Amino acid sequence: MSQYAALLIALPLISAFFVPVVKRLSRRAVMPFLVLITAVQTGIAAWVFNEVYTTGKPIIIMAGGFRPPVGINLYIGHFAALFALIIALVSLFMAAFSAKAITVEPKDKYAMLFLLLMLGATGMISTGDIFNLFVFMEITAISAYALTAYNKTGEASEAAMKYIILGGIGSSFFLVGIALIYGSLGTLNLAQIGLLASRMNPAVLQASLAMLVFGLAVEAELFPLNAWAPDAYQAAPHPVTTMFSAFVVKAGLYAMIRIMYLFKDTPAFAGILRLVLILGTLTVVIGELSALRQTNVKRMFAYSSIAQVGFIAVGFALGTQAGVNAAVFHMVNHAIVKALMFLAAGYVAVELGGVSLEDFRGLGRRMPLTAFSITVGAISVIGIPLFNVF
Amino acid sequence: MVMKRAIAILTLLIIGYWMASALANVPFGADKMLVGQYYLDHVKAQTGAVNAVTAVVVNYRGFDTLGEVTVLFIASTGVAALLWRRKRERTAKTEGSVVLTTGSRLLFPFIVLFGAYIFIHGHLTPGGGFPGGATIATAFLMLYLAFSTYEIPHRGFEITEGLAGMGYVAVGLVGLAVGGYFLFDWIWQSWGWGHANIGRLFSAGFIPVIYTIIGIKVGTELSGIVDSMVKEGGE
Amino acid sequence: MTSCVQCIEYIMVFVMIAAAVFAVEWKDLLAAVVGMAAVSLVASILFFFLQAPDVAMTEAAIGAAMSAAVFIFAIKRTQRYETEEEERPGWWIRW
Amino acid sequence: MNISVYYFGAISLILTGLYAVLVKRNLLKILVGLSIMETGVNLLLISIGYIAGRSAPILSEGVGPNKAVDPIPQALVLTAIVIGVATTALALTVAINLYETYKTLNVEELRRLRG
C-alpha cells in the first residue's frame, strides 16, 4: 500500500502531460484544472504525511521493484513528508492565486511548467539516489528558468539568462562530483555512499564534495552564486516568486545538507562544514545589508529571503544536533511566512499595479486585510516573540 | 585586459590541476564496478534485454528516464511559451533547389523508418528512444530546410506529445497496480511473456513499448522546438 | 598494434581540444557553432573507442546535429558576429 | 602526475568551456562554452566507466557478464546529453527574446541599456 506514495510524483507528471488535451477541450478550463490537480496533490501529500507519522516509519518507494542499491528509491522520512505537504499546500494557494495574477498568454504552458516545478521540488527532497537528485534538480531548474522568463519583458529575460548561466555551470560541476564519487565507490545510492564513504581516497572525497556543494549552491542561493536571485525574484510572475522562496530554494539547501551529512565520519567533513559556515555567514550579511537599500518590495523580500537561507545554512553547518533542529524548524517557518508575504505583496501588485514602496503607501486604508497579513509576516521576520520565526 | 585574461587562465589552470590530481586517484581502465557487475550478471534474467545499457536506462533506472523525458518536455514547453506571439509565420524567402527538395521528399520516409528501427530495436542493438527520436526530428528538420513554407501539424504534434508522456506514466501506473511497484516491468516479470526468445525482437518485457513511446515523444518534442525557433513573430 | 590505436586516440583528443579552442575564439559565431559540433562529433568517436556505442549514437544525433541546428536558428534570428573586443570578468559576478 | 589521455581531454574541454563562460562577452559564445563544458563532463563520465580490454555491454554471442564495460555511466550520460540539449534550447530562446528587446547580445551593453 505504501508504494502508492509514488502517486506524489506520478500525478503532477501525468496531469502536466494532460494539459494540452484540456486546452483543446476548453481554453478556460486550464486554470481550474491546475487548482484541481494541486488540491488532489495536497490530499495525497496529507495521506503520506499521516501514514509516515502514525506508523513512525519512513516510506521507501522502490521504482521498478528493485531493492535500493540496485534500483532507484524514494525515501520519504519525517521531514520529507512534512515538506512535501508544505510544497503541495503552497502550490495549491499559488494555483488559486495564479488564476487571478497571470494575464500573459499562453496560460496552458504556464500550467504545465507550474506543475513540473512542484514535481521537481517534491522529487528533490524525497529521492534517495544521487543521480536521480541531479535529474530532479534539472527539472526544477529548467522549469524555473522558463517561468522566470515567462513575462517576456527585458528584465525577465535577463534574469533568466543569469540564472541559466549560473545554473549550467553548477549542474556541470555537480555532475563532475557524481562522476568522482561513482568512480571511487561504484554506487549511486545515497545510503550506500554513506556506508562506504570511509573507503574513499581523501583527495577525491574533498574534490567531489566541494563540486557537489558548489553545484547545489546555485539552487540554494549561497553567497557567490546567488547573483541571479534578486533579479529573478523581481521579474518572475508573482506566484512563481512565492514558490521560489517557499520551497525551491529550501529543496536545494536540504539536498546539499543531506549530501554533506552522508560524509560526516570522514576527515573532509570538518573542512566542508567550515566552508558552508563561511558562505552562509557572508550570505546573511550581504543579503541583509542589500535589503535595506531597496525600494522595490519584491526585491527587498528577495534579499531578506536570501539572508534567511543563509541563517538556515549556518544552523546546519554548526554541526550540532541543536543547530540542525533549529535549522529545520526555521526552514519550515520561513517557508510559511515568506509564502504569506510574497502572496500579500503579489496581491497588492495585482490590485494596484506596482511593487515599489510608493505603491504601498496608504495600504492600510484600502486593503486592510492584506496590510495586516504583511504586517504579521514582517513582524515575524524581524523576530518579535510569539511569532514563529526567530 | 590581457592581465584579466591571464588571471582567468591562471585560475582555470589551478582548478584543472586540482581536478586532475583528484582524478589521478581514480585509475583509468580499472574495474570499479559494484552495482554495475550486479546489472551485468542479472540483466538477462531480470529484464530480458541483451543490451545492458537499455536495461539500465529503462528498467533499473527507469525513474531517471522518466525525469529525462520530463526535462525535454519542459524545454519544448518553455521554448513554445517564450516564443509565443499572437501571429507567427516562417520568413524564409528562398525555396530550396530542385535537388534538395526532391532529395528530401525522397529521403523523408526512409529517415523516419530508420528512426523507428532504432528505437524499436533498442533492447538488442545500440540505440534506443533518444537517438531514434532525434533521427525522426532530423527528418522534419530537413523538410523545414528544403521547403520555405513547410510547417508541422501543430495540434496533432502537441496532442501526440502529451499522450505519449501520459502513456509512459500510465505504463508505470499499470506496473504499480499489477506488480505493486511504480514502473514495475509487468510484461516480463508478472506475465512472463517472451522468456523463450531472448535476443529476438519480441522479448524484454516493456522495454520496446517504453522506447517506442520515448521515441515518438522525443521526435515530436525536438520537431516542436525546431518549429518554434524557425518561425518569427509578426505584429 | 596497441601503439597504433593509442596514436589515433592522441590525435583525436588533440583535434577535439583544438576544435574547442577554435569554437571559443572565433569571432564568427556560425564558425564557432560548427567548431562546437566538431567537438561533439569527435567526442562521439571517442565514446565509440571507449566501448559506448549507445552514447556515441545519441551524442552524434542530439549533441552534434540537433543542438547545432538550434544554435544556427538562434544565430539567424540574432546576429552573426561578435561585436565588441572588450573582455572583462562576467557581469553576473556583480550584484 | 600521470593521468590518461581521455581524462586530460575531458578536463581540457571543461576548462575551455569555463573560460568562455567567464571571459566572453557575447551571450551565444557563452552558451557555446556551456555546451562544450557539458561534452567534457560526459566524456569524463564515460572514461570513468571504461574497463581496459572489455567490450561494449551488449551481451550477445561471445560477450559474457565478465567481458563487458560498466553500463551505468553510459546510462547516466544518455540522460545528461538530453538534459544538456534541453537547457541549451531554452537558453537560446531566452537569448532570442533578449535580442528582440535590446537589439544586442553583448552582456556589457545589456547592463548599460537596462541602466
Domain ranges of chain D: 5-114
* Three cell numbers written together for C79: 546576429
Q: What is the pLDDT of residues A172-187, one digit of tens each?
A: 999 999 988 888 888 8
For residue D1, give how far its alpha carbon lies from the nearest alpha carbon of chain C (Å): 18
**Helix, strand or coil, per DSSP, at residue C25:** helix
Calculate Rg over the CA atoms of chain A.
20
Q: Write out the residue range of the structural domain in which residue B85 sits.
A: 47-233
D103 vs A165, higher pLDDT: A165
Taking contacts as CB-CB distances below 8 angstroms, the residues of chain D near A152 are: 97
Calculate Rg over the CA atoms of chain C.
16
**pLDDT the model gives residue D36:** 92
Distances (CA, A) of C25 to A326, C28, D21: 50, 9, 12
Among A275, A372, A354, A255, which residue's Cα sits nearest to residue A317?
A: A275
Q: What is the 3-state secondary structure (H, E, C) of chain A?
A: CHHHHHHHHHHHHHHHHHHHHHHHHCHHHHHHHHHHHHHHHHHHHHHHHHHHHHHCCCEEEEHHHCCCCCCCEEEECHHHHHHHHHHHHHHHHHHHHHHHHCCCCCHHHHHHHHHHHHHHHHHHHHECEHHHHHHHHHHHHHHHHHHHHHHCCHHHHHHHHHHHHHHHHHHHHHHHHHHHHHHHHCCCEHHHHHHHHHHCCHHHHHHHHHHHHHHHHHHHCCHHHCCHHHHHHHHCCHHHHHHHHHHHHHHHHHHHHHHHHHCCCCCHHHHHHHHHHHHHHHHHHHHHHHHHCCCEHHHHHHHHHHHHHHHHHHHHHCCCHHHHHHHHHHHHHHHHHHHHHHHHHHHHHHHHCCCEHHHHCCHHHHCHHHHHHHHHHHHHHHCCCCCCCC
Q: Helix crossing, A321-352 with A297-317: angle to 10°?
A: 170
pLDDT band at C91 (very low <50, low <70, confident <90, very high): very low
Touching subunits of D (3+ CB pairs, under 8 Å) are: A, B, C
CB-CB: which of A227, A230, A290 is closest to C93? A227
**pLDDT the model gives residue A376:** 65
In this complex, is the C-beta atom of C8 within 8 Å of any C-beta atom belonging to chain B? Answer: no
Number of domains in chain B: 1
Has residue C92 got a pLDDT over 50? no
pLDDT band at B110 (very low <50, low <70, confident <90, very high): very high
The phi and psi torsions of A58 (rounded to 5 degrees) equal -70, 150
For residue D62, give how far its alpha carbon lies from the nearest alpha carbon of chain A (Å): 25
Mean pLDDT, rounded, for A374-390? 56
Domain edges within chain C: 2-81
Has residue D113 got a pLDDT over 70? no
Among chain C residues, CA nearest to D88: C67
B154 CB neighbour count, 10 Å cutoff? 12
Among D81, A289, A161, which residue's Cα sits nearest to residue C66?
A: D81
Mark yes or no for CB contact A183/D95 under 8 Å. no
Quickly tell me which residue has 549552491 as its cell: A217
Whether the Cβ atoms of residue A337 and residue A370 lie closer than 8 Å to each other: no
Angle at A310 between CA A83 and CA A126, to 5 degrees: 25
Q: What is the pLDDT of residues B153-196, one digit of tens each?
A: 777 888 888 888 888 888 888 878 777 777 777 777 667 666 66
Half-sphere exposure at residue B163, Cβ-oriented, CA atoms within 13 angstroms: 10
**pLDDT the model gives residue D56:** 76
For residue B130, give how far its alpha carbon lies from the nearest alpha carbon of chain D (Å): 8
Mark yes or no for CB contact D48/A183 under 8 Å. yes
Q: Helix crossing, A228-235 with A297-317: angle to 10°?
A: 140
Longest dimension (CA), chain C: 57
Taking contacts as CB-CB distances below 8 angstroms, the residues of chain D near A145 are: 87, 90-91, 94
For residue B98, give how far its alpha carbon lies from the nearest alpha carbon of chain A (Å): 38
Residue C40 to residue C63: CA distance in whole angstroms = 6
Taking contacts as CB-CB distances below 8 angstroms, the residues of chain B near A188 are: 35
**pLDDT the model gives residue C95:** 35
B153 CB neighbour count, 10 Å cutoff? 9
CB-CB: which of A106, A113, A184 is closest to B26? A184
**pLDDT the model gives residue A324:** 77
Taking contacts as CB-CB distances below 8 angstroms, the residues of chain A near C50 are: none
Among chain C residues, CA nearest to B225: C70
Give me chain A's average pLDDT, please.
80
Amino acid sitting at position B144: Y
Q: Which fold has domain D5-114?
A: Helix Hairpins (1.10.287)
Q: What is the pLDDT of residues C37-64, one digit of tens each?
A: 999 999 999 888 888 888 888 888 888 8
Mark yes or no for CB contact D16/C43 under 8 Å. no
**pLDDT the model gives residue A366:** 58
In this complex, is the C-beta atom of C95 within 8 Å of any C-beta atom belonging to chain A? Answer: yes
DSSP E strands, chain B: 88-89, 232-233
Has residue A227 got a pLDDT over 80? no
Does B1 reside within a domain?
A: no
A158-162, A312-316, B134-138, C33-37: lowest mean pLDDT where?
A: A312-316
C12 vs A268, higher pLDDT: C12
Has residue A133 got a pLDDT over 70? yes
Between chain A and chain C, the number of residue pairs with CB atoms below 8 A apart is 13
Among chain C residues, CA nearest to A161: C92
CB-CB: which of A16, A146, A204 is closest to B82? A146
Mean pLDDT, rounded, for A76-100? 85
B61-65, B228-232, C22-26: lowest mean pLDDT where?
A: B228-232
Residue B12 to residue B9: CA distance in whole angstroms = 5
Calculate Rg over the CA atoms of chain D.
19
Give me chain C's average pLDDT, please.
80
Has residue A235 got a pLDDT over 70? yes
Touching subunits of C (3+ CB pairs, under 8 Å) are: A, B, D
Does B127 reside within a domain?
A: yes
**pLDDT the model gives residue C84:** 55
Chain C from 56 to 85: CB within 8 A of any D CB: 58-59, 62-63, 66-67, 70-71, 73-75, 77-79, 82-84
Has residue A381 got a pLDDT over 70? no
How far apart are the two ends of chain D, measured CA to CA in Å? Answer: 49
Mark yes or no for CB contact A168/D97 under 8 Å. no
ipTM: 0.89
Does B154 reside within a domain?
A: yes
* Three cell numbers written together for D84: 544538456
Q: What is the pLDDT of residues A250-270, one digit of tens each?
A: 888 888 888 888 887 777 778
Q: Helix crossing, B129-146 with D71-102: angle to 10°?
A: 30
Has residue B120 got a pLDDT over 50? yes
Taking contacts as CB-CB distances below 8 angstroms, the residues of chain D near B39 are: 71-72
Does B229 reside within a domain?
A: yes
The phi and psi torsions of D64 (rounded to 5 degrees) equal -90, 175
Q: What is the pLDDT of residues D43-91, one digit of tens each?
A: 998 888 888 777 777 777 667 777 778 888 888 898 899 899 999 999 9
Angle at A300 between CA A294 and CA A306, to 5 degrees: 125
Pairing label, strands A73-76, B88-89: unpaired
In terms of average pLDDT, the best of A103-107, A148-152, A287-291, B107-111 is B107-111
Touching subunits of A (3+ CB pairs, under 8 Å) are: B, C, D
Amino acid sitting at position A103: T
For residue A384, give how far its alpha carbon lies from the nearest alpha carbon of chain D (Å): 38
Calculate Rg over the CA atoms of chain B.
23
Residue A33 to residue A28: CA distance in whole angstroms = 9
pLDDT band at A204 (very low <50, low <70, confident <90, very high): confident
Q: What percent of chain A has pLDDT over 90?
A: 3
For residue B139, give how far its alpha carbon lies from the nearest alpha carbon of chain A (Å): 24
With a CB cutoff of 8 Å and minimum separation 6, the contacts of B42 are none
C15 vs A108, higher pLDDT: C15
Taking contacts as CB-CB distances below 8 angstroms, the residues of chain A near C94 are: 227
Give me chain B's average pLDDT, please.
81
For residue B232, give how far its alpha carbon lies from the nearest alpha carbon of chain A (Å): 15
- My answer on whether omega of the bond before A106 falls inside 30° of 0, hence cis, is yes
Distances (CA, A) of D35 to A50, A271, C22, C24: 45, 32, 14, 11
A147-161, B149-163, C64-78, D38-52: lowest mean pLDDT where?
A: B149-163
Mean pLDDT, rounded, for B67-88? 84
For residue B60, what is the enclosing H or E element?
none
A131 vs C80, higher pLDDT: A131
In this complex, is the C-beta atom of D80 within 8 Å of any C-beta atom belonging to chain A? Answer: yes
With a CB cutoff of 8 Å and minimum separation 6, the contacts of A144 are A117, A163, A232, A240, A244, A248
Quickly tell me which residue has 484544472 as its cell: A33
- Count of residues making up chain B: 235
Whether the Cβ atoms of residue D84 and residue D13 lie closer than 8 Å to each other: no
Angle at A215 between CA A210 and CA A219, to 5 degrees: 135
In this complex, is the C-beta atom of D90 within 8 Å of any C-beta atom belonging to chain C? Answer: no
pLDDT band at A300 (very low <50, low <70, confident <90, very high): confident
Mark yes or no for CB contact C95/A290 under 8 Å. yes
Does B136 reside within a domain?
A: yes
Among chain A residues, CA nearest to B29: A183
Mark yes or no for CB contact A166/C92 under 8 Å. yes
Q: What percent of chain D has pLDDT over 90?
A: 19
Mean pLDDT, rounded, for A203-227? 82
Quickly tell me which residue has 539547501 as its cell: A253
Distances (CA, A) of A301 to A276, A305, A318, D80: 23, 6, 26, 35
C47-74 per-residue burial string, b: 16 or more CB within 10 A, e: under 16: bbbbbbbbbbbbbbbbbbbbbbbbbbbb
Among B128, B51, B37, which residue's Cα sits nearest to residue D58?
A: B51
Taking contacts as CB-CB distances below 8 angstroms, the residues of chain C near A165 are: 90, 92
Taking contacts as CB-CB distances below 8 angstroms, the residues of chain A near D38 are: 168, 172
CB-CB: which of B40, B67, B130 is closest to D68? B40
Mark yes or no for CB contact C95/A165 under 8 Å. no
Does B123 reside within a domain?
A: yes
Q: What percent of chain A has pLDDT over 70?
A: 88
Mark yes or no for CB contact C94/A227 under 8 Å. yes
Mark yes or no for CB contact C95/A162 under 8 Å. no
Interface test with D, best of C39, C48, C94 (most D CBs within 10 A): C39
CB-CB: which of C92, C94, C95 is closest to A165? C92
Does B223 reside within a domain?
A: yes
Among A378, A373, A360, which residue's Cα sits nearest to residue A297?
A: A360
CA torsion, ordered D106, D109, D110, D112, to nearest 10 deg: 160
* Three cell numbers written together for B77: 514547453
